[in-house]
């Protein structure tokens, strides 16, 4: 039986294709899959580009750090896997120039360094950076501005490092891997690794730190990482971007959420279009199935035939759509070459799989229930046209659709909170739309006596096709809402997001401010017109025990925990919770708590060490042991660029301990001279220039903004397909009706006005509901997902109402125009509804 | 004797619910048709003719009573069982032709053969179309054919499986007099040649008169005409 059904299904499909029956469904699905895979491909490439950019903060994709030079076999294995490698060695030493000297961090780098990102150099101290792909040549060194300012040296002068002299050929302004951390307090100097032996600085027992850098194809890195993880020796530490820079990671996470939101929009639009097309497909096949049954086909047979047909349509749409998506995406990347990285990696095939999966699950969710209904059409329909299939069980009508949407939404967002908010909001909106639709239909029926003939006909149609009208209101409403929502997200939220990184964000960090120079230092900053952020004390400490157990004896599931427990930690005390901090659990201290042994920790720290409120932490602070109880956990917005600490104590506990202060401030570009003067006046203060890091974060955000905007084009296209599908759904019926009305003497203008009236009414209500839904969804998104402020905007309602009415009326008119052009007889013949 | 009876209705009743209470459409019908016979069921609009036809062909189920078609009690078969029986033994011609709009004339005629799993569907269907005089229009879609031509395709499709019983529901109802007469000629001619039993439902007494026997349907009851 199956074979026969397959054969017949195939044959019927071919025949229907030739007769043009399948065109609309195939088009709707193809556009839907095309939009989704197009979005997928683009998002995939952009996120790869963003990830590459992020890797620049490591100057590599992977980094192995150790206190002794890493074994050569790591590099050999990496090269065997076609990865690029570079080495760096850092050692603290004094740099001399004449009678001046300054302790500096010497960084010797191999020729290939940096593997990702570029070095910024200038010919003057604190000057504007120009990019260089590699480090200094042998015989040359690039000291940074702080070192040159301290030594009073300029480009072209000579400095002595260990047993050798070097010419200063450039001022080092930025390194990609300088990061946002403060591990290196001393000024730094970049030199060629080949020169290091001749300085004779590296003696047995000297304290140097070594890094082996790796970069290459994403897959190759992904395969190499576990190998390195297994092979590395004790004391060798593997770093990737996640822990290298929390600021960049925070921007990437947000970008990811934005992009998944955009993909979701496409998924939903596809779902609506498919649902509408499937309904139409089924409606048009009622007679054929009834006839097949009359001619002796069983229910299973007709079902199999329909399934085969639908599956083949899905397959064709998935193939065509994915190809279409790929082409459009390549074109976009071409067109936007200046904006994206030149070495953008090719997209992987994941979006293709997603396209297939989407086509199949959308069809299964939205087309299977009506198909199952189709197989239940009674054969007697051949004699009595009014006999349709029995109404389906509720779970069968909605279950698969809900399951398909749920699956796809989760697949895209992979975040339970976002997912639950999204699905609940969507379900609520569909119910409200349906209820409002039902109300409108009722209201329309009541007012039909009060309007002219066109409107009466149009509005009467709304109430006569009750179920159809409600479905259309839901489809139009959802489609318009999603488009409006995207507009809200695109304009308001993106602007707000950019605003959250204002131009005067602190771009310099100052640490090691001695307590006795603190007032002078801040006076100096004020006098120079710098915008200063909060100042916090900074104290070195080491975590020694958790809940009374020494950390050496503890195992941490999270690799970050191991790092936190082994490294020295900067801690602080603070009375107020900063506005860039949010309490996750526990409570912030009141004045009464000051001096009590309490501690507040960051979310990263809490996850890394697996801590909970009430756990006891023991620190060694300058030889003194302090035990404190975890009172709160904070979520830190790292991209505020304010001083922030993983571990914060209340005031009154550490006040007596020796420590220094830190702050951050904004200086206008070109204030290099001020900074140089500051370094001279406060020699013990360490200065960190964050402009480069800030530029990296801004660039990630700009890419995300661009991505969302490109995706908007795709979704707009998908949205229009939905409108088309919704209008197409009742096209056959309209064809018949308008022919009948014209036969009865109605002019074409009257019929057109009736159709316009119906669609305008539909569009107005859908637009109103959509604007309301978009505003609420925008608010929730802004607060829950993107964490930016949101302002309600009346224009959304105006655009929703007018746009909805115009758009729906226009598509209605366009889709039915051909109907009106045909002579009534040709529409009536063989085209009964 | 029983062997020759190809279609039999026993105390057949069909009731439907309506806002005014249960409505009896077919009321206690007893009826026999022997093999090769042609029978007409006439009656006014709404007398229940089409419902009776649907019950006899197994397209609908009776409220009480039974139908025996080609020796099988339809009331003992489920929907798929009835479908199988129709595929093997029954042909249909409808007032509104009921051709599949997406299929060509030839494909429409091939359809029942394909459903029965026959590999020679194409030549057999071509021959059937030739018999109804449509050899030149096999590649046309229904919308490209006139009403008379569409009904010819429907007749070709009905006879192509050589059914034991052919049900015709107002086969000339949608056609003008001249075309209707030609279609009727074709129908009776093919019926006579293929020894098919014909059950014809019509309100047209002239057409009914061409059948060997005539029954009249009045308010759900069947009386010999």
Q: Which chain B residues are within 8 Å of A302, Cβ to Cβ?
A: none
Structure tokens at A645: 């600490």
Contact B80 A299 (CB under 8 A): yes
B99 or A672, higher pLDDT: B99
Q: Which chain A residues are within 8 Å of B58, Cβ to Cβ?
A: 379
**What are the backbone angles phi and psi of residue B198, rounded to the nearest 5°?**
-115, 125
| DSSP three-state, residue B200 | strand
pLDDT at A49: 67
Structure tokens at A627: 């035990």
The arithmetic mean of pLDDT across residues A454-466, rounded, is 69
pLDDT at A182: 45
Contact B103 A287 (CB under 8 A): no
pLDDT at A183: 44
Contact B59 A383 (CB under 8 A): yes
Q: Distance between CA A189 and CA A196 in Å, rounded?
A: 12
Contact A296 B104 (CB under 8 A): no
**Nearest CB to A383 within list B54, B79, B100:** B54
pLDDT at A189: 92
pLDDT at B97: 84
Q: Which chain A residues are within 8 Å of B112, Cβ to Cβ?
A: 295-296
- Minimum CA–CA partner of B105 in chain A: A15
- Give me the helices (H) in chain B, please: 49-56, 79-89, 105-115, 121-131, 147-159, 177-194, 205-209
Strand A140-143 relative to strand A164-168, pairing? parallel
Least confident of A28-42, A606-620, A794-808: A28-42
Q: Distance between CA A400 and CA A628 in Å, rounded?
A: 53
User: How near does any CA of chain B get to the CA of A831, in Å?
Assistant: 9
Quote the DSSP letter at residue A671. Answer: -
User: How near does any CA of chain B get to the CA of A756, in Å?
Assistant: 29
Q: Which chain A residues are within 8 Å of B111, Cβ to Cβ?
A: 292, 295
Contact A383 B83 (CB under 8 A): no
How many Cβ atoms sit within 10 Å of the Cβ of residue B79? 16
Interface probe, candidates A13, A20, A281, A295, chain B, greatest B C-beta count within 10 A? A295
Contact A4 B90 (CB under 8 A): no
Omega before A114 cis (within 30°)? yes
Q: A205-248: per-residue pLDDT in tens?
A: 666 788 999 998 878 888 898 898 888 877 777 877 665 556 66
pLDDT at A759: 82
Task: Extract the runs of DSSP E, i.e. beta strands, from A300-368.
Answer: none
Contact A830 B114 (CB under 8 A): no
Q: Distance between CA A627 and CA A599 in Å, rounded?
A: 9
Structure tokens at B114: 């394909």
Q: What percent of chain A has pLDDT over 90?
A: 10
Structure tokens at A666: 């904004």
Q: Distance between CA B80 and CA B94 in Å, rounded?
A: 22
**Nearest CB to A294 within list B50, B59, B96:** B59
**Nearest CB to B53 within list A291, A383, A830:** A383
Question: How many contacts does A have with B, using Cβ atoms within 8 A?
Answer: 93
How many Cβ atoms sit within 10 Å of the Cβ of residue A283? 18
Expressed in percent and rounded to 5, the helix, strand and coil fractions of chain A are 60, 15, 25
Query: B13: alpha, beta or left, given left = phi > 0 and alpha = psi -120 to 50?
Result: beta
Structure tokens at A7: 């054969």
User: How near does any CA of chain B get to the CA of A500, in Å?
Assistant: 59
Residue-wise over A643-668: b if at least 16 C-beta within 10 A, else e? bbbbbbbbbebbeebebbbbbbbbbe
Predicted confidence (pLDDT) at residue A700 exceeds the cutoff of 70 = no
Contact A15 B107 (CB under 8 A): yes
Where residue A489 falls among pLDDT bands split at 50, 70, 90?
low
Q: Distance between CA A25 and CA A277 in Å, rounded?
A: 5
Q: Distance between CA A561 and CA B34 in Å, rounded?
A: 92
Q: How far from the centroid of its chain's Cα atoms is residue A339's Cα?
A: 18
pLDDT at B83: 83
Q: Which chain B residues are within 8 Å of A390, Cβ to Cβ?
A: none
Where residue A833 falls among pLDDT bands split at 50, 70, 90?
very low
A172 or A183, higher pLDDT: A172
- Minimum CA–CA partner of A286 in chain B: B100
What is the residue-averaged pLDDT of chain A? Answer: 78
pLDDT at B10: 94
pLDDT at A380: 80
B20 or A466, higher pLDDT: B20
Are A789 and A488 contacting, i.e. CB atoms less than 8 angstroms apart? no
Where residue A397 falls among pLDDT bands split at 50, 70, 90?
low
Q: A553-589: per-residue pLDDT in tens?
A: 888 877 677 778 877 788 899 998 888 888 889 999 9
Are A700 and A501 contacting, i.e. CB atoms less than 8 angstroms apart? no
Q: Which chain B residues are within 8 Å of A292, Cβ to Cβ?
A: 111, 115
Are A257 and A706 contacting, i.e. CB atoms less than 8 angstroms apart? no
Query: B28: alpha, beta or left, given left = phi > 0 and alpha = psi -120 to 50?
Result: left
Are A286 and A736 contacting, i.e. CB atoms less than 8 angstroms apart? no
Q: Which chain B residues are within 8 Å of A12, Cβ to Cβ?
A: 102-103
- Name the helix (H) or strand (E) containing A722: helix A691-728
Q: B175-212: per-residue pLDDT in tens?
A: 888 888 888 998 898 888 888 999 999 988 889 999 99
**Nearest CB to A297 within list B53, B98, B115:** B115
- Minimum CA–CA partner of A1 in chain B: B117
Q: Residues of A at the B interface (Cβ-Cβ below 8 Å)?
A: 4, 7-8, 11-12, 15-16, 19, 21, 287-288, 291-301, 378-380, 382-384, 829-830, 832
Where residue A181 falls among pLDDT bands split at 50, 70, 90?
very low
User: How near does any CA of chain A get to the CA of B32, in Å?
Assistant: 22
pLDDT at A830: 46
Contact A8 B114 (CB under 8 A): yes
Q: How far is CA A143 from CA A146, A147, A155, A597, in A?
A: 8, 6, 9, 44
Q: Contacts from A371-376 at CB under 8 Å and sequence distance 24+?
A: A371/A278, A371/A282, A371/A303, A371/A306, A371/A307, A371/A310, A372/A303, A372/A396, A373/A282, A374/A282, A374/A285, A374/A286, A374/A289, A374/A302, A374/A303, A374/A306, A375/A289, A375/A299, A375/A300, A375/A302, A375/A303, A375/A306, A376/A299
Give DSSP secondary structure letters for A142-206: EEBHHHHHHHT--TT-EEEETTEEEEE--EEEE-GGG-S--S--S-EEEEEGGGHHHHT---TT-
Is the ipTM reported for this complex over the cut 0.85? Answer: no
Least confident of A451-455, A685-689, A772-776, B216-220: A451-455
Q: Which chain B residues are within 8 Å of A298, Cβ to Cβ?
A: 79-80, 83-84
The secondary structure of A682-709, three-state, reads CCCCEEEECHHHHHHHHHHHHHHHHHHH
Q: How far is CA A738 from CA A117, A280, A386, A502, A627, in A?
A: 66, 19, 20, 59, 84
Structure tokens at A552: 């050496």
- Name the helix (H) or strand (E) containing A55: helix A23-55
Q: Distance between CA B93 and CA A722 in Å, rounded?
A: 40
pLDDT at B34: 92
The arithmetic mean of pLDDT across residues B70-98, rounded, is 87
State in Å, rounded, how far the first CA of chain A is from the last one: 32
pLDDT at B47: 83
- Minimum CA–CA partner of B104 in chain A: A15
Q: How far from the centroid of its chain's Cα atoms is residue A264's Cα?
A: 11
Nearest one of B136, B192, B165, B149 to B69, comparing CA atoms:
B165
How many Cβ atoms sit within 10 Å of the Cβ of residue A417? 10
Contact A4 B88 (CB under 8 A): no
pLDDT at A137: 92
Interface probe, candidates A283, A286, A380, chain B, greatest B C-beta count within 10 A? A380
Structure tokens at A157: 């002068």
A732 or A305, higher pLDDT: A305
CA dihedral in degrees (A551, A552, A555, A557; nearest 10)?
A: 60
A451 or A84, higher pLDDT: A84
Q: Residues of B at the A interface (Cβ-Cβ below 8 Å)?
A: 50, 53-54, 57-60, 79-80, 83-88, 90, 92, 94, 96, 98, 100-104, 107, 111-112, 114-117, 141-143, 150, 169
- Give me the helices (H) in A336-465, please: 350-362, 368-374, 394-413, 416-447, 453-464
User: How near does any CA of chain B get to the CA of A819, in Å?
Assistant: 16
């Amino acid at each position: 039986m199956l074979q026969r059904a397959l054969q017949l299904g195939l044959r019927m499909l071919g025949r229907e294709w030739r007769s043009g029956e399948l065109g609309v469904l195939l088009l709707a699905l193809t556009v839907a899959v095309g939009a989704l895979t197009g979005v997928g491909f683009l998002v995939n490439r952009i996120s790869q580009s963003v990830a590459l950019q992020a890797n620049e903060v490591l100057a590599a994709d992977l980094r192995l750090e150790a206190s002794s030079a890493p074994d050569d076999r790591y590099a050999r294995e990496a090269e065997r896997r076609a990865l690029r490698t570079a080495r760096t060695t850092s050692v603290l030493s004094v740099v001399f120039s004449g009678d001046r000297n300054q302790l500096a961090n010497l960084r010797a780098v191999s020729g290939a360094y940096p593997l990702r990102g570029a070095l910024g150099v200038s010919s003057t101290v604190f000057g504007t950076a120009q990019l260089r792909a590699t480090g200094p040549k042998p015989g040359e060194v690039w000291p940074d501005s702080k070192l040159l300012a301290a030594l009073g040296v300029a480009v072209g002068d000579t400095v002595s490092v260990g047993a050798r002299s070097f010419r200063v050929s450039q001022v080092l302004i930025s390194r990609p891997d300088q990061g946002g951390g403060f591990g290196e307090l001393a000024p730094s100097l970049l030199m060629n690794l080949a020169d290091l032996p001749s300085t004779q600085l590296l003696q047995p027992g000297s304290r140097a730190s070594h890094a082996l850098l790796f970069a290459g194809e994403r897959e190759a890195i992904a395969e190499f990482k576990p190998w390195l993880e297994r092979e590395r020796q004790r004391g060798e530490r593997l770093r990737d971007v996640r822990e290298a820079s929390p600021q960049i990671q925070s921007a990437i996470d947000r970008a990811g959420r934005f992009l998944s939101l955009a993909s979701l929009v496409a998924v939903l639009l596809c779902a609506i279009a498919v649902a509408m097309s499937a309904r139409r497909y089924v409606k048009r096949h009622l007679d054929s199935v009834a006839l097949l049954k009359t001619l002796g086909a069983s229910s299973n047979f007709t079902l199999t035939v329909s399934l085969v047909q639908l599956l083949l349509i899905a397959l064709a749409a998935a193939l065509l759509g994915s190809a279409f998506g790929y082409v459009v995406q390549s074109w976009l990347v071409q067109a936007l070459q200046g904006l994206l990285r030149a070495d953008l990696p090719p997209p992987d095939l994941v979006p293709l799989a997603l396209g297939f999966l989407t086509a199949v699950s959308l069809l299964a969710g939205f087309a299977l229930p009506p198909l199952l209904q189709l197989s239940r059409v009674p054969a007697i329909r051949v004699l009595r046209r009014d006999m349709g299939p029995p109404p389906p069980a509720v779970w069968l009508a909605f279950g698969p659709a809900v399951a398909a949407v749920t699956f796809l939404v989760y697949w895209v967002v992979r975040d339970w909170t976002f997912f639950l908010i999204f699905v609940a909001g969507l379900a609520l909106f569909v119910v409200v739309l349906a209820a409002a639709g039902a109300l409108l239909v009722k209201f329309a029926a009541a007012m039909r006596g009060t309007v002219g003939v066109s409107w009466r006909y149009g509005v009467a149609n709304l109430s006569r096709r009750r179920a159809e009208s409600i479905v259309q209101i839901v489809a139009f409403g959802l489609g318009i809402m999603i488009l409006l929502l995207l507009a809200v997200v695109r304009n308001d939220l993106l602007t707000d997001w950019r605003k959250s990184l204002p131009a005067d964000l602190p771009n310099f960090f100052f640490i090691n401010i001695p307590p006795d120079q603190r007032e002078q230092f801040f006076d100096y900053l004020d006098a120079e017109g710098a915008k200063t952020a909060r100042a916090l004390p900074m104290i070195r400490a080491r975590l020694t025990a958790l809940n009374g157990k020494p950390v050496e004896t503890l195992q941490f599931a999270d690799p970050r925990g191991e790092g936190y427990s082994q490294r020295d930690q900067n801690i602080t005390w603070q009375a107020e919770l900063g506005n860039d901090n949010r309490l996750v659990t526990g409570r912030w201290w009141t004045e009464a708590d000051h001096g009590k042994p309490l501690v507040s920790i960051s979310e990263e720290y809490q996850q890394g060490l697996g801590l909970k409120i009430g756990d006891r932490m023991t620190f060694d602070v300058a030889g003194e042991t302090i035990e404190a109880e975890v009172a709160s956990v904070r979520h830190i917005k790292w991209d505020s660029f304010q001083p922030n600490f993983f571990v914060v104590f209340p005031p009154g506990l550490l006040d007596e301990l020796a420590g220094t202060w830190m702050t951050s401030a904004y200086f206008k570009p070109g204030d290099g001279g001020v900074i140089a003067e500051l370094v001279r006046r406060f020699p013990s203060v360490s200065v960190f220039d964050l402009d480069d890091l800030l530029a990296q974060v801004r660039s990630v955000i700009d890419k995300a903004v661009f991505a969302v905007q490109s995706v908007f084009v795709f979704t707009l296209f998908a949205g229009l397909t939905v409108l088309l599908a919704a209008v197409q759904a009742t096209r056959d019926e309209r064809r018949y009706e308008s022919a009948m009305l014209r036969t009865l003497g109605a002019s074409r203008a009257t019929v057109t006005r009736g159709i316009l009236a119906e669609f305008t009414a539909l569009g107005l209500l859908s637009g109103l509901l959509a604007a309301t839904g978009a505003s609420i969804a925008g608010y929730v998104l802004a607060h829950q997902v993107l964490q930016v402020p949101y302002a309600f905007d009346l224009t959304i309602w105006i655009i929703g109402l007018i746009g909805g009415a115009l758009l729906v009326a226009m598509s209605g008119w366009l889709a039915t125009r051909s109907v009106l052009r045909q002579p009534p007889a040709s529409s009536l013949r063989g085209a009964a509804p | 004797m029983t062997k020759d009876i190809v279609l039999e209705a026993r105390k057949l009743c069909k009731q439907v619910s309506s806002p005014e209470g249960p409505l009896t459409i077919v009321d206690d019908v007893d009826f026999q048709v022997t093999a090769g016979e042609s029978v007409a069921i006439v009656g006014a609009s709404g007398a229940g003719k089409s419902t009776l036809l649907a019950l006899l062909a197994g397209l609908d189920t009776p409220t009480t009573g039974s139908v025996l078609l080609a020796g099988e009690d339809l009331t003992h078969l489920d929907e798929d069982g009835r479908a199988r029986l129709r595929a093997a033994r029954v042909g249909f011609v409808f007032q509104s032709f009921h051709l599949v709009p997406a299929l060509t004339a030839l494909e429409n005629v091939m359809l029942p053969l394909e459903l029965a799993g026959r590999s020679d569907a194409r030549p057999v269907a071509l021959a059937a179309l030739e018999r109804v005089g449509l050899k030149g229009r096999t590649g046309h879609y229904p919308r490209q054919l006139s009403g008379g031509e569409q009904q010819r395709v429907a007749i070709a499709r009905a006879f192509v499986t050589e059914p034991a019983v052919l049900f015709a529901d107002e086969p000339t109802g949608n056609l003008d007099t001249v075309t209707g007469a030609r279609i009727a000629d074709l129908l009776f001619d093919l019926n006579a040649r293929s020894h098919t039993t014909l059950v014809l439902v019509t309100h047209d007494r002239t057409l009914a008169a061409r059948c060997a026997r005539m029954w009249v349907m009045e308010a759900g009851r069947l009386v010999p005409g």
